[in-house]
Chain A
């Protein structure tokens, strides 16, 4: 999740994070989990699994928000998420890549 600045009520709020578990050998490479993940957490790996497909992997800078969508969309029972301890937003979670005005123009 990206924020353009630290939210003012950040100390009072907790964020939900998930840990993605991938059972690579079951994957049949449909890419549904990669494409439909709302927080863009997954990517296709270069390696092949034993069936000859490219299973997904979790990107190093990604933050899974534990929405469970990849788990429900996977036709192969190859991916599931476990909830991590909720915690406060930390300064390193705030990705300050876009200024407020740039966000506006992008949305238009």
Chain B
């Protein structure tokens, strides 16, 4: 058979964009999303979309000023969240979302600075930034989508992978002890620490509103299903059965010591608000100590 090639011109870029953006605005939350970006890349059943929706709902209910709210993300599946939001957003290099956000906050303290990133991004390559921003009590909010593995690169084990869970890098089961993010955040000095699962959408939204309004380093952990990598390798079923297991295993508690809130591959998940304290922020301390002293009149030396 003879193949005939048709001399067709590629449609102009503007028309491609028009097609992509068709239907934008059909959903009331679309006003917070960039035109032409939905559907997002996340798999069917991925919890990242729920977290993004919770953030957008928080913006709506908390009346956040879209001109003053900025979102910074690192690399990973959830890192794409920054690109979908119609705000000033920054998709930084792997692990560097927190230092970037710190810089933004210090340069313009009027901004609400929110970091949305993954467990691998924030606690493996970016682990040092997390503990030191929490120690300094920089006034930013960090939201972590914890799916217990590196979703984007195909499901490698990371710092939150529970013992014995299977990943591409731990085919016989993970033999490393994982971080308990709630405990880590508390020990590093965060003033607000909460953990919810993707099923607790309303609580997640309210925690995000509270964190953004609260001065100081606030940390919200969202347990999200990653059915494609973590779920499939550990035979946890599809997204729906992972969500059902969150429903059956979540225990709401405020009394539990953060030390006791570690999460295993299966079993109970402690959820709730674990820390909510007040402490002067990095900028408060800096203004008070360093700048005041530098500007104070010098004492003349008496002989």
Residues of chain A touching chain B, judged by Cβ–Cβ distance below 8 Å, are 23, 25-26, 28-32, 35-36, 51, 53, 69, 71-78, 80
Contacts and interface: CB of A to CB of B under 8 A. Distances in A.
Nearest to A81: B28
B201 interface: yes
Of A29, A71, A75, A80, which is in contact with the most chain B CB atoms at under 10 Å from its CB? Answer: A75
Nearest to B28: A80
B199 A23 contact: no
A73 B201 contact: yes
A31 B227 CA distance: 14
A80 B29 contact: yes
Interface string B30-61: 10010000111011111111101110010000
Interface residues of B, number: 32
A22 to B, nearest CB: 10
Interface in B5-40: 23, 26-30, 33, 38-40
A21 B58 CA distance: 21
B33 A32 contact: no
Contacts of A53: 44
A28 B50 contact: no
Contacts of A72: 50, 53-54, 57, 201-202, 205
Nearest to B32: A77
B53 A32 contact: no
A28 B44 contact: yes
A75 to B, nearest CB: 3
**Counting chain A CB atoms within 10 Å of each CB, which of B26, B47, B244 scores highest?**
B26
A26 B173 CA distance: 36
A36 B198 CA distance: 12
A77 B33 contact: yes
Nearest to B239: A30
B28 A75 contact: no
A26 B38 contact: yes
Given A32-B50, A72-B205, A77-B38, 18 more contacts: A26-B23, A26-B27, A30-B44, A30-B45, A32-B240, A36-B199, A72-B53, A72-B54, A72-B201, A73-B199, A73-B201, A75-B42, A75-B46, A75-B52, A76-B40, A77-B30, A77-B53, A78-B27
B122 interface: no
B29 A77 contact: yes
28 contacts: A23-B23, A23-B26, A26-B27, A26-B38, A26-B39, A28-B39, A28-B43, A28-B45, A30-B44, A32-B50, A32-B240, A32-B243, A35-B240, A36-B243, A72-B202, A73-B50, A73-B53, A74-B50, A75-B42, A75-B45, A75-B46, A75-B52, A75-B53, A76-B49, A77-B38, A77-B49, A80-B28, A80-B29
Contact of A69 (B44, B52, B201): B201
A2 to B, nearest CB: 23
A82 B60 CA distance: 16
Nearest to B29: A77
Nearest to A29: B44
A75 B50 contact: yes
Interface in B161-209: 198-199, 201-202, 205
Nearest to B22: A25
A25 B54 CA distance: 21
A42 to B, nearest CB: 14
